[in-house]
Amino acid sequence: MQTSVIGFPRIGTLRELKFASEKYFKKEIKAEEILQTGKDLRKIHWNTQKEAGIDFISCNDFSYYDMMLDTAVLFGIVPKRYRELNLSDLDTYYAMARGYQGASGDVKALAMKKWFNTNYHYIVPEIEDETQIRLSGNKPFEEYNEAKALGIETKPVVIGAYTLLKLCRYTGEKTINDYTDAVITAYQDLLKKCEENKIAWIQFDEPALVQDMSVEDIALFHKIYDAVLSVKKESHILLQTYFGDVRDIYADLIKMPFDGIGLDFIEGKETDFLVETYGFPTDKWLFAGLMNGKNIWKNHYEKTLQVLGKLQEKGIKSVLSTSCSLLHVPYTTKHETKLSAKYLSYFAFAEEKLGELAELKELAESANYQLETTYQKNKKLFAEGRDCFSEQVHKRLSLVTKKDYTREPKRSERQKLQKKELGLPEFPTTTIGSFPQTKDVKANRSAYRQGKISEEEYKAFNKKKIAECVRWQEEIGLDVLVHGEYERNDMVEYFGEALGGFLFTEKAWVQSYGTRCVKPPIIWGDVYREKPITVEWSVYAQSLTKKIMKGMLTGPVTILNWSFPREDISIKESISQIALAIRDEVLDLEKNGIKIIQIDEAALREKLPLRKSDWQKEYLDFAIPAFRLTHSGVKAGTQIHTHMCYSEFTDIIPAIDDMDADVITFEASRSDFQILDALKEHHFETEVGPGVYDIHSPRVPSVAEIVAALRVMLTKIDKEKLWVNPDCGLKTRDIPETEESLKNLVAAARVIRSEG
């Protein structure tokens, strides 16, 4: 039995690459130094895997920013505006990743998108009509030879041609079909170069195969790989899939001359069934993705060994593999000094997973693995009850009835009543919640965390900030105010810390994009609210103004999606538990005089299953009711808002309406307001604030610009239903630009009101 790792994290155990990159961006270090940091990290990562005894170790899984961007550069997909800057290769690369503003020109960064169903973002390559796709770079071979010089044989990983073509943006007249031939030649050249370098295995990552595939898609895949595989000689090709099963193309795949096929047995619900039904050819290797690359729990050896045993019985040659790249988990539990050994004994981050692969390899080769100590130890861990059960939570959930998922009276009646009770003007203005997180705000939080200031001092400072923020909003003339979220760094971290059932790590960073990392909390046990979380802040903020103060919460779906979930209960059950905890907070806010409560569901759209056929039953059927459970208990006059980042929910508009919020705000400015047509078409009932300007850029929108945006919106949205707001929270912005932008926003609302 051999073992394989699809990819390893690259940011560094202590985020070395992040800090070096940021220094390079600030021109504090030279190019050689950042390149050296990369080299040092690669060496550590390869050696760690080698020492763990991994057989198939990847190279070219390293990236200075993003692997999709690396692939684009490898094949010469560099838009003209970046080439024309005439920068070094490294700086052109960073210009595409981050934008460039300086002596050589002024260009924005390429777009960024979520990498399938993960919280990792990739850079979207742009193909222009004049783009010449061909093998132009050497990165996979440089890394291969670098590893080889260290005495380590690796398999270069390259994003496959099909996934690349599917994820690129075509900015001119030409489309995918116009580039297929060039892409084929480029990958053939890549393969030829592998042969020249005597590379034993190359891994093509094709996660796009786990999405719904049409007949045309399958034909495209065939066209590409029939041609690419035709130049194969000595080198072996591993076709690697992950994040789901390949049900649409499995029967074809196994007939094609790949040497290995990597299948995901964790997220691929039908993988087992496919292998069972169609078999797997004995002349190929099945890279069985049985070690969860996305979660931090230890592997259940008994289950894994059973699957491996079944494959063996069928005479299938298998390699034990991670289910996806380990990029999506933190490096190691070693730096966690605050979590007790008991907790840590349940976790395996990337490095610990390597150890598990090695143990499983030994067990799989053992004549009677049941007798081995490593097996016994693992079995015991899973057999022993974890201290994670709350009788009360279960009891409460069991008492939830259909009624608890339905808010009365129906929305149209509530909307009429709220118009009267809240007394807001037409086109009410508001913001999404957070205000600029200036240095002093961050310093206050961090001093408190480190025990350098007392709780009173910490709170006093925040209250002073809230008071300033309220005064500021009143001066600007906004209608519905917020307290500014100064007590929050990351919203999920904030709520997780306040809820029972969550665990926190110190150094368990996961790359989110480029140099940005997140530290998702771990859902350890049944979730409940110990005590009110936000009430004190909201009540204080409301006491400072006669205007309406909006309470600010995060919804259950988002809290779950941005945490490491449990594996011993269903996602549905976890979400319902969180929903009840948030419901308590909603009702407490209401009881304390808060009339508008926003429950953010920033991450609702992003965890939509990759296949459309799974959307309802695998997700929406419980995610949407969970949201309703948080707010169904409030009075008719209490207005519930929600906020979603991105506006790519055109395809699930009825589900969004079904959340039964009174108002939703979202990011529409970046999608050129395309979603508005869809809202109209679906007779969207919820009142809407489709963000009138883009907060991701420091640019200040003019009054005229916002008025124009509102006029467009009014052609699609009833005037009684339109709200005026920025498209997301303001925490990443500076004070001066925020003030100017909001003043213009209020002025624009007044212009529209005066037009009658």
DSSP 343-384: HHTTB--HHHHHHHHHHHHHHHHSTTGGGSHHHHHHHHHHHS
Q: For ligand GLN, give the closer residue by CB, 207 or 436.
A: 436
Which tokens belong to 159? 């994003």
Q: Tell me if 347 sits within 8 A of 357, measured CB to CB.
A: no
Q: What is residue 395's three-state secondary structure?
A: helix
Which of Zn ion, ligand GLN, none does 691 bind, CB closer than 5 to 8 A by kind?
none
Q: How far is the CB of 694 from Zn ion (least distance, A)?
A: 11
Q: How far is the CB of 137 from ligand GLN (least distance, A)?
A: 35
d(CA 729, CA 727) in angstroms, rounded, equals 7
Which tokens belong to 106? 């002024």
Q: Tell me if 161 sits within 8 A of 221, measured CB to CB.
A: no
Q: For ligand GLN, give the closer residue by CB, 209 or 659.
A: 659
Residues near ligand GLN (CB under 6 A) are 432-434, 485, 491, 552, 600, 602, 643, 645, 728-729, 731
Which of Zn ion, ligand GLN, none does 731 bind, CB closer than 5 to 8 A by kind?
ligand GLN
Which of Zn ion, ligand GLN, none does 647 bind, CB closer than 5 to 8 A by kind?
none
Query: In this chain, which residue has its C-beta nearest to ligand GLN?
Result: 729
Q: How far is the CB of 556 from Zn ion (least distance, A)?
A: 17
Q: If you search the block for the tokens 């395309």, which residue do you land on?
A: 674
Q: Tell me if 386 sits within 8 A of 346, measured CB to CB.
A: yes
Active site residues: 696
Q: Which of 646, 703, 647, 696 is CA-nearest to residue 675?
A: 647
Which of ligand GLN, Zn ion, none does 508 bind, CB closer than 5 to 8 A by kind?
none
Q: How far is the CB of 598 from ligand GLN (least distance, A)?
A: 7
The residues, any chain, with a CB within 8 Å of residue 325's CB and separated by 6 or more, are 6, 7, 8, 61, 242, 293
Which of ligand GLN, Zn ion, none does 207 bind, CB closer than 5 to 8 A by kind?
none
Q: For ligand GLN, give the closer residue by CB, 305 or 597.
A: 597
Q: For ligand GLN, give the closer residue by CB, 131 or 437.
A: 437
Q: Tell me if 94 sits within 8 A of 583, measured CB to CB.
A: no
Residues near Zn ion (CB under 5 A) are 645, 728
Please provide residue 509's backbone torsions phi and psi, each rounded to the nearest 5 degrees: -80, 145
Q: Angle at the Cα of 174 (from 168 to 175), degrees rounded to 5?
A: 50
Q: For Zn ion, give the closer residue by CB, 658 or 694.
A: 694
Question: Can you state the angle between helices 455-476 and 735-754, rounded to 10 degrees?
Answer: 40
741 alpha-carbon distance from chain centroid:
28
Q: If you search the block for the tokens 């991670």, which residue do you land on?
A: 322
Q: How far is the CB of 512 from ligand GLN (least distance, A)?
A: 12
Q: If you search the block for the tokens 């699609």, which residue do you land on?
A: 716
DSSP state of 198: T
Which of Zn ion, ligand GLN, none does 433 bind, CB closer than 5 to 8 A by kind?
ligand GLN
Q: How far is the CB of 445 from ligand GLN (least distance, A)?
A: 15
Q: For Zn ion, give the closer residue by CB, 140 or 551.
A: 551
Q: How far is the CB of 434 from ligand GLN (least distance, A)?
A: 3
Q: For Zn ion, give the closer residue by CB, 16 or 490.
A: 490
Q: Hey, which residues does 154 pair with through a beta bridge?
A: 57
Which tokens belong to 688? 């809407």
